Amino acid sequence: MKKLIELMTEEVSSAFEKAGYAPELGRVNGSNRPDLCEYQCNGAMAGAKQYKKAPFMISDQVAELLKDSPVFESVQSVKPGFINLNVDPAFLASYLEKMSGDEKLGADTAEKPRTIIIDYGGPNVAKPLHVGHLRSAIIGESIKRTGRFLGHKMIGDVHLGDWGLQMGLIITELRHRNPSLPYFDENYTGEYPKEPPFTISELEEIYPAASARSKEDEAYRSEALEATGELQHGRRGYMALWNHIMNVSVTDLKKNYEKLDVEFDLWKKESDAQPYIPDMVEEMKAKGFAYEDQGALVVDVKEEGDTKEIPPCMLLKSDGASLYTTTDLATIVERMKLFDPDEMLYVVDKRQELHFDQVFRCARKTGLVKDTTKLSFLGFGTMNGKDGKPFKTREGGVMRLENLIADIDAEMYKKIVENRSVRDTDAKDTAEVVGLAAIKYGDLSNQATKDYVFDVDRFTSFEGNTGPYILYTIVRIKSILSRYKEEGKDPCEGKLLPAQNKTEKDLMLQLSGFGAMAENAFAETAPHKICAYIYDVSNAFNSFYHETKILGEEDPARKQSLIRLLVLTKDVLETAISLLGFSAPERM
């Protein structure tokens, strides 16, 4: 569906053409001076030189031709040569009428859908899910949903970290605690027990204990490194333990992601790339890209024009062990083979930027991907506490995601009960729905690349630019609509009529921008733009609501029109929050 701004541009362009100027000059933009006009066109300024005329002469001529246009309520040529535009209210109403009949509310389905693998979440098996992984999950989920909404084939992959030192550490710690288990007996040839030798809570205690010890105990650390290498080379007992760790851990991770309403299409893991490593490495050697440097195998990835030092990409350590880089490269090989995607997008902590720079360069240089395969990195900033330092528990430890969610839900519950508008039985469920919105909106409303402060009080507030404020607005609309239905009426009947005052028109103008906003937010991988839009629509709605009698309106046609506007506002807001990854309750 054409965007409102495109329709306006077409109208102004044809006026430029009629007056003898290039139609491209007729581009319409949002207004720099919202106090003076809704939209503007600066084409006369741009064309002055080319046509050797004062810009004001051009703008005057064009404005004159647009005098009777059905698209505009007013067209004003102002010195030195701007064209100030206000949309015709009837034209706007008819645009919204079409938009409300459109499945995607004015956003276009991609003409050439792209296949995009989005690598997000990235938790590490056996380590508890902590807040550091929260951002990846939230941002990635939103981008995935937005792409899918616009018709792209989005494949979300959690890419579990299951192949690194943490596995060797756990194996080592288990061995110290219980050396008689068959997993450690190299001569054991029987079947291993079906039951894991630990529970999830034991596992969560084992890893930090092992990690702490390895920092003090050199011999212990070497043991863990060796165990990691042996695991990677397929030692039978360790593989059996690894399977137990995976099962216990993944069950727990799935539970956590479900709570966050984050869903992955693929539960792939670093180890899945393992089989691709030998051939990949051989080929890089054969083609002359990989060479030995102090025993390690590396590929140079520095390029002309680099402003900072980009160290070589390391493929194998001197002991033959693979690295994080190696699995990421081999994962690219696997993804090309299985999906041949147009793009691979990684949503990972921005502190890993250099790693991805090396991996992408190496993949391109060695021909792992096609020239047309886009490799992108969306690096996000750190979630800090109120003290400006990375978010921690009150005791200074790493905050577990589960506890963070529980804290927010408790705070939301308190606030909802204070409001007393919901019976106590619903309050708990409602608190969970609103709590999720508080967390996700609090995160997504910041530009992904920036650090931000996780502030429970602010995020859970019903006022200001917060998730709860947005949901409150939606719930307010729902409650008016249900009262309308109680009058025995159908909110979808009637026609959208031209706005009768400024707040109503402002709301209509905001709503008309949904499609362009969604497309742009996706193109720029910028969920914060969806939040900014939602906030603008909510504010526009609340101003309109405070100034307008809706259920008390006496003219039946106008009342129907106001209700239709409410329905459209609700649809736009609910669609927009679904792109962010949360939903609104019926009541609050």
Residue with tokens 């409150």: 472
Find the shortest distance in angstroms from Cβ 455 to ligand ARG. Answer: 24
- Helices (runs of H) and strands (runs of E) counted in the chain: 20, 13
Enumerate the H helices of 260-397 as residue ranges.
Answer: 277-286, 324-339, 353-365
Nearer to ligand ARG, 130 or 564 (CB): 130
CB 75 within 8 A of CB 83: yes
Q: How far apart are CA 405 and CA 387, in angstroms?
A: 20
Q: 527: cis peptide before it, omega within 30°?
A: no
What are the residues binding ligand ARG (CB under 6 A)?
A: 119, 122, 124, 159, 161, 328, 346, 348
Q: How far apart are CA 207 and CA 325, in angstroms?
A: 23
**Own/partner pairs for 402-407, CB < 8 Å, 24+ apart?**
402/128, 402/129, 402/256, 402/259, 404/131, 404/134, 404/439, 405/259, 405/260, 405/435, 405/436, 405/439, 407/456
The residue among 158 and 576 lying less far from ligand ARG, judged by its C-beta, is 158
Distance CA 493, CA 498 (A): 16
Least distance to ligand ARG, CB of residue 301, Å: 16
Question: Min. distance of Cβ 131 from ligand ARG in angstroms?
Answer: 12
We find the least distance from the C-beta atom of residue 581 to ligand ARG, in angstroms, to be 19
Tell the smallest beta-carbon distance from residue 164 to ligand ARG (Å).
Answer: 8
In whole angstroms, the minimum distance from the beta carbon of 44 to ligand ARG comes to: 51
Q: Of 63 and 129, which has the nearer Cβ to ligand ARG?
A: 129
**Least Cβ distance, residue 418 to ligand ARG (angstroms):** 38
The distance of closest approach from Cβ of residue 498 to ligand ARG in the complex, given in angstroms and rounded to an integer, is: 52
Strand partners, 130: 400
Task: Write down the least CB distance from residue 134 to ligand ARG, Å.
Answer: 12
Nearer to ligand ARG, 154 or 348 (CB): 348
- Return the residue nearest ligand ARG (CB atom): 122
Q: Of the two residues 16 and 264, which places its CB atom closer to ligand ARG in the complex?
A: 264
Dihedral over Cα of 390, 393, 399, 401: its sign: negative
* Residue 161 near residue 545 (C-beta atoms within 8 A): no
φ, ψ for residue 482, nearest 5 deg: -75, -30
Closest CB to ligand ARG among residues 66, 299:
299
The CB-of-406 to ligand ARG minimum distance in angstroms stands at 22
Smaller CB separation from ligand ARG, 120 or 459: 120
What 3-state class would DSSP assign to 62? Answer: helix
Phi, psi of 281 (to 5 degrees): -65, -45
Give whole-number Cα distances, 194 to 173, 190, 244, in Å: 20, 12, 8
**Treating both helix axes as pointing N-terminal to C-terminal, what angle do 514-523 and 131-149 enclose, rounded to 10 degrees?**
130
Torsion sign across C-alpha atoms 191, 195, 199, 202: negative
Longest CA pairwise span in the chain (Å): 94
41 or 348, CB closer to ligand ARG?
Answer: 348
Closer to ligand ARG by CB, 328 or 409: give it: 328
Question: Among residues 264 and 544, whose Cβ is nearest to ligand ARG?
Answer: 264
